[in-house]
């Protein structure tokens, strides 16, 4: 079976830029403040640790901004995979056990419960997030934030769930 693209969802630039501005401007400010705290070694150690742990997050933010400028999709539905370009990961449809939608005051997301998390965890490049997935004994669900995707969040969720239901009946 080929891996033909069925549906693509593009980035929603407003929330992507808000998040990027907050992250890209507060992160360096925080590191500079930690390094300059009375020239204490503790501030230098914490500043270095923060820089090391969040370097991949900065790369991810810049990559998503570039993809948004280039009009590339944020997520894709293919015959075999749910491809999340925001996190640079893909999940095979037969590896998904359950899909749920969660909403809060200012966010909406899709939660995927996976049958085998090892394949997904091996794709994660950010050390902090990888550690969180490895340390959670119950199996942390994979979350895709819908705020960064253009369109009605409920309709996006329904379309993804409909395709997963079709695929889960196939497998």
Query: pLDDT of 65-120, one tens digit each?
Result: 899 999 999 999 999 999 999 988 999 999 999 999 998 877 889 999 988 888 88
Regarding the domain delimited by 82-170, which CATH topology (the fold level of the hierarchy) does it fall under?
A: PH-domain like (2.30.29)
Farthest-apart Cα atoms in the chain, separation? 63
At which residue do the structure tokens 């095979």 appear?
Answer: 92
Segment 38-56, tens digit of pLDDT: 667 776 777 777 777 777 7
Q: Secondary structure of the chain: what % helix, strand, coil (to 5)?
A: 50, 25, 25
CA distance 153 to 160: 11
What the block records as the tokens of 94 is: 């037969």
The 10s digit of each residue's pLDDT in 3-50 is: 777 889 999 888 888 878 877 777 777 777 776 666 677 767 777 777
Collapsed DSSP state (helix, strand, coil) of residue 64: helix
Question: Whole-model pTM?
Answer: 0.80
């Amino acid at each position: 079976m080929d891996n033909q693209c069925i549906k693509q969802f593009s980035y929603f630039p407003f929330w992507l830029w808000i998040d990027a501005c907050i992250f890209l401007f507060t992160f360096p400010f925080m590191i500079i403040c930690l390094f300059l705290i009375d020239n204490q070694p503790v501030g230098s150690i914490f500043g270095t640790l923060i820089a090391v742990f969040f370097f991949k997050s900065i790369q991810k933010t810049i990559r998503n901004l570039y993809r948004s400028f280039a009009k590339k999709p944020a997520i894709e539905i293919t015959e075999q995979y749910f491809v999340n370009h925001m996190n640079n990961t893909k999940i095979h449809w037969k590896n998904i056990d359950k899909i749920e939608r969660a909403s809060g005051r200012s966010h909406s997301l899709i939660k995927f419960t996976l049958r085998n998390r090892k394949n997904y965890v091996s794709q994660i490049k950010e050390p902090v997030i990888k550690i969180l997935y490895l340390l959670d004994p119950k199996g942390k669900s994979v979350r895709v934030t819908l705020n960064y995707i253009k369109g009605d969040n409920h309709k996006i969720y329904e379309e993804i769930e409909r395709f997963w239901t079709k695929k889960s009946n196939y497998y």
